[in-house]
Amino acid sequence: MINIASQIAKELQINESQAQSAISLLDQGNTVPFIARYRKEVTGSLTDETLRELADRLTYLRKLEERKEEVIRLIGEQGKLTDGLKTKIELAQGVTEVDDIYRPYRPKRRTRATIAKEKGLEPLAALIWQQQTSDEDIDKLAEDYINAEKEVESAEAAVAGAKDIIAEMISDDADLRGKLRAWVRHSGLIISKAAAEESTVYDMYYDFSEPVAKLVPHRVLALNRGEKEKILNVKIEAEEQDAVALMHRNVFKPRWQSAYLQSAVEDAYKRLIFPSIEREIRNDLTEEAEEQAIKVFGGNLKNLLLVAPVHGKTVLALDPGFRTGNKVAVADPTGKVLDTGVVYMTLEHHDTAKAKEYLKKLIEKHNVDIIAIGNGTASKETEAVVAELIKTLPKQVYYLVVSEAGASVYSASKLGSEEFPDFDVALRSAVSIARRLQDPLAELVKIDPKAIGVGQYQHDVNQKRLAEMLGGVVEDCVNAVGVDLNTASPSLLRYISGISPAVAKSVVEMRETQGRFQSRQQLKKVRGLGDKAFEQCAGFLRIPGAKNILDNTAIHPESYDAVNRLLEKQGARLTREKDLEQLRAQMSGWKVSALAAALAIGEPTLKDILEELKKPGRDPRDAFEQPVFRSDVMHLEDLKEGMVLTGTVRNVIDFGAFVDIGVHQDGLVHISQLADRFVKHPMDVVKTGDIVKVRVLSVDTNKKRIALTMKNVN
């Protein structure tokens, strides 16, 4: 069997010792965030992204080994397992290769070949296959196989049955199938034609042809969707003559000629091999495209979750609507709901002046700093009223449009009703809009990641795989930021390393019944949270104002002794801020390697400790750009070619990035317009949440399409 650690190391371009250490840690029940943060010395500082890839490959390769063992057992039970065959199976690199090897031994339904075997035609097939008997002699020998009882009525029928047997033998040749699969993948074309006459979003695929080898993932998914909706007919085409020539070279002995064997080769390709290979390649393309789409979704989600929070601001949120009005919620800087209501200001018969006066009173009463407007139905009309309103206010108030993707899902969820039992669904949505501006991570974790809407073709991909990937992304983000143990919701706590949903509820129950946590050690008293769970979670939970300042840092309790030794060595104490200030001033001159050796800890751990001591309790998201706040409204019709605007990247896909420039229609920066250099993937240049400058290339007001560029924008 293959050495899994060695194989993974080769694929991920890491040392085998790193791979083996990571595998051991995962097998011991450690989570990816814990390993990435607190076991850097063991893994050589592997990142959470690399560890996720490693864990995925580990699962696949172990399943591959299980499949190999199963195939070896099944062939062995038939008494057909040889040492050479066993070695071949053990060295196989993928499930497809293993299945190809197993194909001749797999129990078959009745085929033309099995029927021919039942008629006793195997010896005749063997004569043709041995390539020592001419076709003319085969014709004579075939007469011996005529048997009315077995329904072999003529010599021609006997030869036809023998060719069926040979065709299946050729089809079952694992090496040949592998060569043909690779050839079709390299030389084949994907073809799509319209199955309907009317114009649809699939117009570009109505007469489409592209080499399989060059087909990009998002086109694969688009073709699949069009085919599923019965709008497109999709197939793979390859030069049959070239394929048969390849087979001929692998089947025929030198200088041997046989029309019967050639006929069997052609039949094997057309009837058995190509249809199967076409399905396999389409499936492979789909799996690869889905994996890419899931990867893009995960990257967008990560960047969205890590958008900088807006600290210390009171927010008035508006969930726009026409007939039902605008739902209003005011949240203080901690997210506490101060006020709610409904105003009507988006239809001609609405009393807009009354709505403005109501909002003005709320702004003055609660000293509102920012107005957050959901980007759904009636958002544009709401923004126009808000832009007029803030011009009349005595203080400067800004507004911005917030994505409300998933807000309605949260509002109607069990969690939403538990959190706000006295609010109707619409008001919960307004609260969610306010809070996702104040702390995107804390609010968005309450929503199924698939409902956040920052991917491409997310409904077309493997939903189980998508959920696994997105769950891992959320887990990594939550643990990278850390959470306040005394304010975090169960929704947030359940993503902390080592904490299950049940334990998250127990944490909150203990907090509510016994008061605030004063130290991390109190976690050990939480029902269901044992020593292993404590080890996994403690470093990611923060306690602002704790007696031990380290309890409000990412320093793990297992390193507290090392920190105390460090402080003792420097003659400092955590309780004296002036000592910490002096330590920070001295850190740049320290030799980390010598100090790590003196403290008997690893250099990566010491570097992390020193970073935390520089600014205890810091939020890593504070280093990111703040969202763009606006004070005036702009319409699509206001855009002109050449205008330079500041916008926010809302979504990144394989062919570009969509940027919100404040006109309620995101503009597209095509991948070719992202930079003055070749861009392999848009994520190499931009990410969700980035604040970018763009220039308008073109505007199509009828189709509501905006083309933007980031090239040469000053």
Q: What is the pLDDT of residues 519-540, one digit of tens each?
A: 999 999 999 999 999 999 999 9
Domains belonging to the chain, first-starting first, are: 4-105 (1.10.10.650), 112-296 (1.10.3500.10), 315-438 (3.30.420.140), 636-709 (2.40.50.140)
Locate 438 and state its tokens. 């104040």
What is the pLDDT, as a whole number, of residue 329? Answer: 95
* 61 touches 2 (CB < 8 A): yes
Average pLDDT on 418-426 reads 86
pLDDT band at 266 (very low <50, low <70, confident <90, very high): very high
d(CA 85, CA 63): 20
pLDDT band at 422 (very low <50, low <70, confident <90, very high): confident
Strands 370-374 and 315-319: parallel
Average pLDDT on 617-627 reads 79
Report which of 272, 278, 277, 275 is spatially closest to residue 170, judged by C-alpha positions: 272
Pick from 59-68, 327-336, 635-644: least confident: 635-644
Average pLDDT on 29-39 reads 96
- pLDDT of 92-102, one tens digit each? 999 999 999 99
d(CA 331, CA 402): 15
Is the predicted pLDDT of residue 189 greater than 70, yes or no?
yes
DSSP 629: P
What does the mean pLDDT of the chain come to?
Answer: 91
d(CA 689, CA 308): 9
Report which of 492, 495, 498 is spatially closest to residue 511, judged by C-alpha positions: 492
CA dihedral (386, 443, 623, 541) in degrees, to 10, reads 150
- 632: phi then psi, degrees, rounded to nearest 5: -145, 155
Report which of 26, 31, 91, 82 is spatially closest to residue 64, judged by C-alpha positions: 91
Percent of all residues in the chain with a pLDDT value above 90, rounded to a whole number: 68
Strands 483-484 and 541-542: parallel
- pTM attached to this predicted model: 0.83
Is the predicted pLDDT of residue 647 greater than 90, yes or no?
no
- 268: phi then psi, degrees, rounded to nearest 5: -60, -40
Is the predicted pLDDT of residue 580 greater than 80, yes or no?
no
- pLDDT of 365-387, one tens digit each? 999 999 999 888 888 899 889 99
Longest CA–CA separation in the chain, Å: 107
d(CA 170, CA 102): 14
- pLDDT of 460-479, one tens digit each? 888 888 888 889 999 999 99
User: Which contiguous run of DSSP H or E holds residue 623?
Assistant: none
Pick from 113-117, 166-170, 442-446, 566-570: least confident: 566-570
pLDDT band at 574 (very low <50, low <70, confident <90, very high): confident
What is the pLDDT, as a whole number, of residue 327? Answer: 94
pLDDT band at 1 (very low <50, low <70, confident <90, very high): low
Report which of 402, 388, 390 is spatially closest to residue 363, judged by C-alpha positions: 390
- pLDDT of 698-709, one tens digit each? 999 888 899 999
